Structure 1
Amino acid sequence: MKNSIYIVLFLTLAGCVSSTNLIEKDAYFSKENFLAKNNGEVIPSNYTYPQKKSFKVLSWNVEHFVDSFDDPYIDSKRENIPDSLMGNKIADLVTALKKTNADVVVLQEFESAKFLRSIADENLQNMGYKYFADVPSHGWYMNVVIMSKFPLGVIYGYGNVTTPLLGYKNKDGLPETQNTLNTRMWSIEVYPAPNYNFLLTGVHLKAGRGERNIAMRKGQINFLKQQFNRFLKEDKNKNMLVVGDFNSLLGSEEINLFTNEKRNREKFIDPLPQTIMTHTSDDPKRRLDYILINTNMYKEYKENSAEVPQLFTPQKMREISDHLPVTTTFIIK
């Protein structure tokens, strides 16, 4: 009986020992690969980090950007019969991407990463875009997608998450929740250099003015902030970047939830000058699009690099989208 107790105790203690990262036993990967030391990911064997001292990020809501194929699970005229509505948008987007030459591209209202990969394969072959990701909606065509010259790691998809309409009650005096829009938010690890990485969050928050829409955005933002707190608990020095169409005005309650945080480690900074507007693209009078940098990553922000690039005439920009793109640059330290 006594021996049986010892055996049970031994097995219990053995089960508490953390799992070994088997990659560490492989001399090549444990020595040469930065990611392997942390979580078991490795850089692709045919990949060489570019010898760059900086990298550029582009975010752009490209407005109803759909491929030429009808997805039978999505019922929308724009998606079902897109040819008459797209015009020259693909060619114009290609020109814009060549002009900006960003290392990391995040697009909102874009049908899929598969579509973006096909555009890159056909038109951007020599620009180095190798990595693509998204978390597409099951029932709608407006998604947030990423294209990167740098390897990508874990993507955290929030489509199954239910978020509250904070501070809002419906006509019956009852609170509301939603989980139909949260596919348009995700976070992903990006690895620009052997000893430098950051967590990128792409968003396309609920559109519209009014109390209900604001409450919905606040619920989405509250969830994201709790996610960011989880990441900071794992690594207090975590670099974090949030980009996209926030559908929130400058100085609004929603943006202030990011920028007015009292705890410095949880605060985000808007590097764009307050005078810069992004909507509508041909006559911009309000800001809806942002690149927000947490205080950790702001140390790498290249001063005065945040901007709205002037790519085409106002008329041409409006043919592509009702939003203007935003870009910024970071120094790799």
Structure 2
Amino acid sequence: MKNCIYSIVFLILVGCSSASNLIENDSYFSKENYVAKHNGEVVPFGYKYSKKKSFKVLSWNVEHFVDSFDDPYINSKRENKPDSLMGNKVDDLIAALKKIDADVVVLQEFESAKFLRNIADNGLSDMGYKYFADVPSHGWYMNVVVMSKFPLGVIYGYGNVTTPILEYRNDKGEPETQNTLNTRMWSVEVYPNSDYNFLLTGVHLKAGRGERNIAMRKGQINFLKQQYKRFLKEDKNKNILVVGDFNSVQGSEEINLFLNEESKREKFIDPLPKTVMTHPSNAPERRLDYMLINTNMYKVYKENSAKVPQLFTPKKMKEISDHLPVITTFIIK
């Protein structure tokens, strides 16, 4: 009986030891060359963190931004034959990105991270953009993509998630759900330096006014809020930034779901002045684009840095997109 007990204890110890993080056995990675030791992520070999004490984030809906190749699985005139529709948008975007010089760039209505990588390689090669990610739709060309000078970690793709159309009933009195738009939401870990990281969520929520569209956005936002509960349960100090085209005006019930949360840990702050509008780009009269910062990350927000940069003439801005870009800066020491 005693031998049996010893055997069980031995097996338990062996099982525990085999579950240890192997990084701890490699002196190079175990000391300082990892970004998330708890899950095994490491800094790319040869990468050196920037010594900058701040970083800038850009979010921009660039309106039907597609490459010159036809994706045979997507049936859309804009995607099938884009050359006559794109004009000088690529060159203008390159010029804009050079002016802004953001460290992290999130673009909505952009075809793919592959396309963005190609633009960066050919037009922004001296700016340090090395990391790209997206969660593309299988059936549509308007995606949300990210480009970063900092290493990226786990990306949480929500394309397979079904969300409710909240507090809405159709003509038959039945509730509805949807999962065709949720590819346009994702979250990804970003690592500006060895001591600071944050969870970035890029969104392009359901467009349109009316009860059903509002209900769809509320369902999408409800899902994101539950995700943040999970992340904050794992780490109560989690830094979270949500950016993109929310298709929701200031003071709307959708935006208030973020801003009026009773739990301080789960509440978000809109740092843009209330007078700042983003749509339409040539004569902005409403705000549809936001950078919402959770209370943890707001501690490093650079005061008054959230703004809409003045890049080109209104006419040229309209040629690029019907939305204006939004930028924000954070101070890390």
Q: Tell me whether the two structures share a fold, i.e. TM-score over 0.5.
A: yes
Secondary structure of the residue aligned to 2:41 is: coil
Q: How does 1:1-333 map to 2 (within 5 A)?
A: 7=7, 11=11, 14-15=14-15, 19-333=19-333
Q: Report the TM-score when normalising by structure 1.
A: 0.97
**Deviation of residue 32 (structure 1)?**
2.3
Residues 259 and 269 in structure 1, CA contact (< 8 A), matched pair in contact too:
yes
Residues 13-44 of structure 1: per-residue CA shift (max 9 Å, x gap): 75466711111111111112142533211101
Q: List runs of 5+ in structure 1 lacking aligned partners.
A: none
Partners of 1:11 and 1:206 in 2: CA distance? 53
**Deviation of residue 61 (structure 1)?**
0.1
Partners of 1:18 and 1:6 in 2: CA distance? 18
Partners of 1:223 and 1:10 in 2: CA distance? 44
Partners of 2:208 and 2:82 in 1: CA distance? 24
The amino acid of 2:323's aligned partner reads H
Residues 246 and 290 in structure 1, CA contact (< 8 A), matched pair in contact too:
yes
Residues 200 and 240 in structure 1, CA contact (< 8 A), matched pair in contact too:
yes
Residues 34 and 195 in structure 1, CA contact (< 8 A), matched pair in contact too:
no
**Deviation of residue 2 (structure 1)?**
7.8
Secondary structure of the residue aligned to 2:218 is: helix
Q: Report the TM-score when normalising by structure 2.
A: 0.97
Secondary structure of the residue aligned to 1:281 is: coil
User: CA RMSD for the aligned pairs?
Assistant: 1.4
Partners of 2:67 and 2:77 in 1: CA distance? 13
Partners of 1:152 and 1:18 in 2: CA distance? 28
The aligned length equals 333
**Deviation of residue 218 (structure 1)?**
0.3
Cα 1:17–1:232 change in 2 (3 A) is: farther
Secondary structure of the residue aligned to 1:172 is: coil
Secondary structure of the residue aligned to 1:187 is: strand
Residues 34 and 40 in structure 2, CA contact (< 8 A), matched pair in contact too:
no
Higher mean displacement: 38-47 or 82-91? 38-47
Partners of 1:79 and 1:121 in 2: CA distance? 22
Partners of 1:184 and 1:283 in 2: CA distance? 26
**Deviation of residue 4 (structure 1)?**
5.6
Partners of 2:37 and 2:138 in 1: CA distance? 36
Q: List runs of 5+ in structure 2 lacking aligned partners.
A: none
Residues 46-97 of structure 1: per-residue CA shift (max 9 Å, x gap): 2111110100000000000000000000000000000000000000000000
Partners of 2:36 and 2:98 in 1: CA distance? 33
Cα 1:8–1:30 change in 2 (3 A) is: closer
Secondary structure of the residue aligned to 1:192 is: strand
Higher mean displacement: 18-27 or 215-224? 18-27
**Deviation of residue 6 (structure 1)?**
6.2
Secondary structure of the residue aligned to 1:188 is: strand
Residues 149-208 of structure 1: per-residue CA shift (max 9 Å, x gap): 000000000000000000000000000000000000000000001100000000000000
Partners of 1:288 and 1:104 in 2: CA distance? 20
The amino acid of 2:194's aligned partner reads P
Cα 1:304–1:80 change in 2 (3 A) is: same
Partners of 1:6 and 1:78 in 2: CA distance? 70
Partners of 1:55 and 1:38 in 2: CA distance? 25
Partners of 1:99 and 1:252 in 2: CA distance? 32
The amino acid of 1:240's aligned partner reads I
Secondary structure of the residue aligned to 2:139 is: coil
Cα 1:36–1:215 change in 2 (3 A) is: closer
Cα 1:320–1:21 change in 2 (3 A) is: same
Residues 23 and 36 in structure 1, CA contact (< 8 A), matched pair in contact too:
no
Partners of 1:59 and 1:121 in 2: CA distance? 20
**Deviation of residue 9 (structure 1)?**
6.7
Cα 1:171–1:9 change in 2 (3 A) is: farther
**Deviation of residue 11 (structure 1)?**
3.7
